[in-house]
């Protein structure tokens, strides 16, 4: 069942449904648990499920573009930071010297991380950069 705006905020309406990366609920994340080392940075990360729930809420609140961003984000949660930063860098103007470089990047997201929306988004950029001549040397 899709979440609705009345489910918001999730941390208040259904705290038990908010589960961190390593299975900890909000109630488990206490100062004492941090001090004892039970809770680490990993437990303080958002999950794909939480982003999907927020996407549903955003869509119900009449914000379809925000929902799509959350859905793209949900695909990036488990992508390592250096891969994300490399893709961002490649999307900046003049970084990719050919359309193929971006298409390769898109394929990696699709195949390695199951990030189909992200992959499609990068492919869309690849086509646009091609038409707008952005594969030019900048520095």
Partner 1 sequence: MTTPNRWKRYADWDERPLRLDRFAAEDATNGFSAFSSPADPKPAIGIADGRVISLDGVLEHDFDMIDRFIARHHIDINIAPEAMAMDSGQVARMLVDMNVPRETLVRLAHGMTPAKLAQVVSHLNALEIAFAYSKMRARKTPGNQAHVTNAKDDPLQLAADAATAVAFGFDEIETTMRVSRNAWANALACAVGGAVGRWGTLFQCSSEEAEELRIGMAGFTSYAETVSVYGTEKTFVDGDDTPWSKAFLAAAYASRGIKMRCTSGAGSELLMGFHESKSLLYLEARCLCLQRGMGVQGTQNGGIDGAPLTATVPGGVRELMAENLIAVWLDLECASGNDARSTESEIRVGAKIMPFLVAGSDLICSGFGSILKYDNSFNPSLLNGEELEDYLVLQRDFEADGGLTPLPEERALDLRRRAVDAVSAVFEELGLAAPTEEMKASVTVASGSDDTRSFMPRDVALISEAIKARGITVIDVIKALSKRGFRQEAENLLNVVKLRVSGDYLQTSAMIRGGRIISAINDSNDYLGPGSGYRVSEARRLELNNIRDVLDQKEVLRSEAMHERDEARRIRYRTTGIASPSDDPKDVVIGISPAFGLKIFQTTAGHALSEVLRVMLDAIRKRGLNPRVVRFRHTADTSFLGLSAAQLAGSGIGIGIQAKGTAVIHQRGRLPHNNLELFSNAPITSVEHYRGLGGNAAAYALGEMPEPVVVPQRGEAMGSRHHARVAIIYAIETGIVEEGAAPQLVEVAFTGSHA
Binding-site ranges for partner 1 (CB under 8 A): 5, 8-12, 18, 20, 26, 29, 31, 34-35, 39-41, 43-47, 50-51, 53-54, 57-58, 61-70, 72-77, 79, 81, 84-85, 87-89, 91-94, 118, 121-122, 124-125, 128-129, 132, 134, 138
Partners of 19 in the beta sheet? 25
Rounded to a whole number of angstroms, the minimum distance from the CB of residue 55 to partner 1 is 10
Partners of 25 in the beta sheet? 19
Rounded to a whole number of angstroms, the minimum distance from the CB of residue 109 to partner 1 is 10
Rounded to a whole number of angstroms, the minimum distance from the CB of residue 60 to partner 1 is 9
Rounded to a whole number of angstroms, the minimum distance from the CB of residue 124 to partner 1 is 7
- DSSP letter string over the chain? ----GGG-SHHHH-GGG-B-TTS-BGGG--HHHHHTTSS-GGGGS--HHHHHHHHHHHHHTT-HHHHHHHHHHHHHTTS-HHHHHHHHHHHSTTT-SSHHHHHHHHHHHHHHH--HHHHHHHHHHHHHHHHTT--S---
């Amino acid at each position: 069942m899709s979440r609705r705006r009345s489910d918001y905020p999730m941390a208040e309406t259904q705290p038990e449904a908010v589960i961190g990366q390593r299975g900890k609920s909000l109630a488990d994340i206490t100062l004492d648990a941090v001090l004892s080392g039970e809770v680490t940075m990993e437990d303080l990360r958002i999950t794909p499920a939480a982003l999907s729930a927020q996407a549903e809420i955003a869509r119900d609140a009449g914000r379809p573009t925000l929902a799509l961003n959350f859905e793209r984000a949900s695909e990036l949660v488990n992508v390592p930071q250096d891969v994300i930063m490399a893709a961002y860098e490649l999307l900046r103007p003049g970084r990719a010297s050919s359309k193929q470089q971006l298409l390769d990047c898109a394929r990696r997201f699709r195949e390695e991380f199951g990030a189909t929306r992200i992959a499609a988004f990068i492919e869309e950029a690849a086509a646009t950069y091609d038409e707008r001549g952005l594969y030019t040397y900048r520095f």
